[in-house]
Amino acid sequence: MKEVFERLFGKRETRLFFAPGRINLIGEHTDYNGGHVFPATITYGTYALAAKREDRQVNLYSMNFEEKGVISFSLDELEFDQAHDWANYPKGMIRYLQSDDRKMDTGFDVVYYGNIPNGAGLSSSASIEIVTGVMLESLFGWELDRIEMVKIGQKVENEFMGVNSGIMDQFAIGMGKKGAGILLDCNTLEFDYAQLELEEEQVIIMNTNKRRELSESKYNERRESCDHAVEQLQKELSIQTLGELTEEEFEAYKHLIECDTVRKRAKHAVYENRRTLQALEALKEGYLEQFGELMNASHVSLREDYEVTGKELDTLVEAAWQQEGVIGARMTGAGFGGCAIAIVKADYVDDFLQQVGELYEEKIGYEATFYVADIGDGARELQKDEVIV
């Protein structure tokens, strides 16, 4: 990265920042429904090598999108620009982070590099947002509450990029901790760290290699269905989100939801939220097999009720379920392509990778990609010679 920076912007004193990607172990499409999620940050992520300038120009370059070249704009021109493509994510952070107490006196040059598979659903966009936030905080000497930064990242996604997503991705990336998952109440932002005691198992990320473009997907349509379900349930229930309901309450009042499809969407949100709480308890008690069963049930619900899996994800997960040594497997992320995860006993990982890979290629016609994930720390400035992956 240093060589690329110097070629583009000249020799200067630079600083290096990192924000991870994330996996969600369980609790999918619950974040915007006021429920719980259980994400963890991984050691794949986004790097940003930066230095301040003396004028008000901002120059952004991504080693992942070399064909786009250097994207430049002034600190006085922070509107969304379709032509700026990926750079709209950091541009939105620059715009929304500034306030009466936080001003940028100069622009800056930055080279980004990410090793999160692009479009895989491991939250590369939130990783770019939060690494930009951490970078700006350090470069300009701000004291910024990390949860405030997380909320600004979500605002960029929602208002600047037009994707109606929840807060889980930015929260996990901003607040992640090595060797731990985060149980997050998306309604209150209360959270707990939970140790992931995977001493004889490994987390495998399985990338379908089917690209998904979130803003062009049916993500917003699913969210609207859930909002509609809440409106109909409010005829007799004093609730603001589906995450407030138990399974029993949902079953007692689901007749208020007139449309069968909307009722299925709401059922997933309610039952998935309860599964997430049960999963945390299973981990606390050391019942990893039970945790795996809840992961499996999560995927079935996402396939049957929320209908966000698709042929590629189902093929990967169903192939994983057939393998010896598998504790559990499910899609992770928004769906419509992207990735699935599996918890696999370490002794069986090699056989798992070979057999699931063969089954997938035979049915889909192209290869899946597999990553063995470690659970790492959240976004931060890196010290010299610190290696993440």
State the CATH number of the domain containing residue 16.
3.30.230.10
* Domain encompassing residue 71: 2-195+376-381
What is the rounded CA–CA span in Å between residue 276 and residue 37?
Answer: 6
Answer whether 239's CB lies under 8 Å from 213's CB.
Answer: no
Predicted confidence (pLDDT) per residue in 188-199, tens digit: 999 988 888 788
pLDDT for the residue 196: 80
pLDDT for the residue 215: 44
Answer whether 17's CB lies under 8 Å from 131's CB.
Answer: yes
> Does 113 fall in a domain?
yes
> Does 241 fall in a domain?
no
Enumerate the active-site residues.
Answer: 169
> Does 96 fall in a domain?
yes
Domain count for the chain, please give it: 1
> Does 156 fall in a domain?
yes
**Which parts of the chain sit beneath pLDDT 50?**
215, 389
pLDDT for the residue 374: 84
> Which has the closest alpha carbon to 341: 389, 378, 377, 291?
291
Angle, CA 153 vertex, CA 151 and CA 158 arms, to 5°: 90
Answer whether 52's CB lies under 8 Å from 137's CB.
Answer: no
pTM, full prediction? 0.86
> Does 40 fall in a domain?
yes
> Does 237 fall in a domain?
no
> Does 150 fall in a domain?
yes
> Which has the closest alpha carbon to 127: 16, 28, 44?
44
> Does 227 fall in a domain?
no
What is the rounded CA–CA span in Å between residue 271 and residue 321?
Answer: 21
